[in-house]
Amino acid sequence: MKKHAIFSKSRLSERDGATVIIVALALVMLLGFGAFAVDIGYLYVVRNELQNAADAGALAGAAALYNNDGTAVQPTANVIGQEAAMRNTAVRTAVEVTLNGNSGDVQRGHYSFATGTFTPNASLLPVSLWNVSTEELDANTDFINAVKVTTHRSAPAAPSFFSRIFGYDSFALAAEAVAYIGFAGTLYPLNVDKPIAMCQESLLDAEGNYSCSIGRMINSGSGAGHNTAAWTNYSQPCETANANDMAQLLAGCGGSNPTPIILGTGMGTSGGMQDSTYRKSIFSCWIDSLRAGNPLPLVLPVVECPGNNPGPCSKVVGAVEVTVVWITDVINTNKLNYDEVPSMMNTAEKAPWACSVPLTKDSTQAQINQCWNEFVSYYNLKNADNQNAPIAKNSIYMLPSCTPHDPEGGTGGKNFGILAKIPVLVR
């Protein structure tokens, strides 16, 4: 019995010793995990603030990518991006952003949605937005549409706390962001000039490219399947645009959108006849300027009109600038007055036009018709069927703009020739 007791005490001592060792090792491991947990939390904060700085720099650089009228890429976008990023700190320490032409931490370039890649490009030349599709521009790396900013915390690097026990004194961190400036999508109040929505089908050629080579005829009396535009009351959610809505919006020759127009959602529209509104608020406000040969530039929303037939709720897909070159009231197309057709016009897209036969109150119908035909041919004006536009009552004749327009609204629309003003983060 005595011998057995001695043996039991020995075994207990061994177990106690092993337990102490295991507990000690566990404590070391727990301390290690705790140390790394504290440091990982700190590094997460540093990394998050570096990301905020990169985001701010990319957005500021992309917003400054083009000059005020969208005709040239600005090299100062890099500096603006750097300055915006460096106004931020990463846990009370300045972030690092170096400039080296277009090869440093701030780069101008092209972002492709199809591939999700950013390609640096130092070119300062804008590409043409006309007679090209949105998809083709997405694949064209010469289309400068994005700014990439990389921020660092390396000198000094982010210090460690408990991790230095294990030999990790500091951690160098970096973050990057890409901001994209695309085409006008969401439109802000007063971006749009008149409550008329252009049908995208009338602005795209057979290949789906935005084309400014064909003028269009907007006829308030056109039937289903023959519309190139629609009236709109800007309502979202949709409320059908009626004559009373139009009269209120167009009062005093006004008509700008009072509220934002959201891309990708329906907007209240209506095709067809609205003679009284048209005559009082469109024709009377525009005709004197047009008769003097002065066209009227307008920024209008673009909507989907399947089959050239806008419904009561049409999806907004972008914005376009058009130039109104003529407008008609109630007319007798078989007996036109000399001042019911244009005799001269001066647009930015083409050289000034003048009828080969000066029109007076004594002009014959043949001479008046000749002037109309010359006008239609010169500006390549077409109806929805792509036939030469006839002269008709209550009609607006316009040209999609072929010249750059001041950027408008937020990024997200399709290409109808107007760049956005506000960029978005894409990475």
Tens-place pLDDT, residues 84-131: 999 998 777 889 999 999 999 999 999 999 999 999 999 999 898 888
CB-based contacts of 109, cutoff 8 Å, min separation 6 = 102, 118, 119, 120, 121, 141, 144, 146, 147, 148
**Cα dihedral value 347, 351, 355, 356, nearest 10:** 180
Look at residues 130, 158, 181 and tell me which one is the last residue of a structural domain. Answer: 181
State how many domains the chain has.
Answer: 2
Q: How far is CA 350 from CA 106, 388, 397, in A?
A: 40, 19, 16
Within a domain: 382: yes
**Of 68, 418, 417, 410, nearest to 260 (Cα)?**
410
**pLDDT of amino acid 117:** 96
pLDDT tens digits for 396-422?
899 888 777 777 788 888 888 888 888
Looking from the CA of 236 toward its CB, the CA atoms found within 13 Å total: 17
- The helix (H) or strand (E) run that includes residue 53 is helix 2-63
Distance between CA atoms of 326 and 340, rounded to whole angstroms? 9
Within a domain: 6: no
Look at residues 148, 181, 214 and tell me which one is the last residue of a structural domain. Answer: 181
Q: What is the CA radius of gyration of the chain?
A: 33
Within a domain: 187: no
Residue 172 sits in the same domain as residue 229:
no
**Backbone phi and psi for residue 284, each to the nearest 5 degrees, phi listed first:** -65, -25
Distance between CA atoms of 371 and 365, rounded to whole angstroms? 10
**pLDDT of amino acid 120:** 98
Residue 353 sits in the same domain as residue 406:
yes
Q: What is this structure's pTM? A: 0.74
Look at residues 181, 204, 232 and tell me which one is the last residue of a structural domain. Answer: 181
Residue 208 sits in the same domain as residue 150:
no
Distance between CA atoms of 59 and 219, rounded to whole angstroms? 42
Residue 86 sits in the same domain as residue 232:
no
Return the amino acid letter for 77.
A
**Backbone phi and psi for residue 236, each to the nearest 5 degrees, phi listed first:** -145, 110
Residue 210 sits in the same domain as residue 135:
no
Give me the domain span that covers residue 98.
Answer: 16-181
Residue 211 sits in the same domain as residue 320:
yes
pLDDT in tens, the chain (427 residues): 445 554 455 554 555 555 666 656 666 566 655 566 666 777 788 888 999 999 999 999 999 999 887 888 999 999 999 999 999 987 778 899 999 999 999 999 999 999 999 999 999 998 988 888 888 999 999 999 999 999 988 877 766 665 666 666 667 888 999 999 998 888 999 999 999 999 998 888 878 888 877 788 777 555 555 678 888 999 999 998 888 888 888 888 888 999 999 988 999 998 766 677 777 778 888 988 998 889 999 999 999 988 878 889 999 999 999 999 999 988 888 899 999 999 999 988 789 999 999 999 999 999 999 999 999 999 999 887 788 889 988 888 998 887 777 777 888 888 888 888 889 999 8
Distance between CA atoms of 196 and 250, rounded to whole angstroms? 11
Q: How far is CA 27 from CA 2, 20, 21, 82, in A?
A: 38, 10, 10, 46
**Backbone phi and psi for residue 252, each to the nearest 5 degrees, phi listed first:** 65, 30
**pLDDT of amino acid 268:** 95
Q: How far is CA 115 from CA 118, 128, 175, 420, in A?
A: 9, 22, 21, 22
**pLDDT of amino acid 218:** 77
Residue 278 sits in the same domain as residue 166:
no
**pLDDT of amino acid 86:** 94
Residue 207 sits in the same domain as residue 321:
yes
Within a domain: 189: no
Residue 172 sits in the same domain as residue 269:
no
**Cα dihedral value 347, 351, 356, 360, nearest 10:** 30
CB-based contacts of 5, cutoff 8 Å, min separation 6 = none
What DSSP state is assigned to residue 92?
S
Residue 312 sits in the same domain as residue 401:
yes
What is the rounded end-to-end Cα distance, in angstroms, of the chain? 78
Residue 231 sits in the same domain as residue 161:
no
CB-based contacts of 145, cutoff 8 Å, min separation 6 = 65, 110, 111, 137, 180, 181, 182
Residue 374 sits in the same domain as residue 226:
yes
**pLDDT of amino acid 165:** 62
The answer to whether the CB of 234 falls within 8 A of the CB of 189 is: no
C-alpha 176: how far from its chain's center?
A: 22
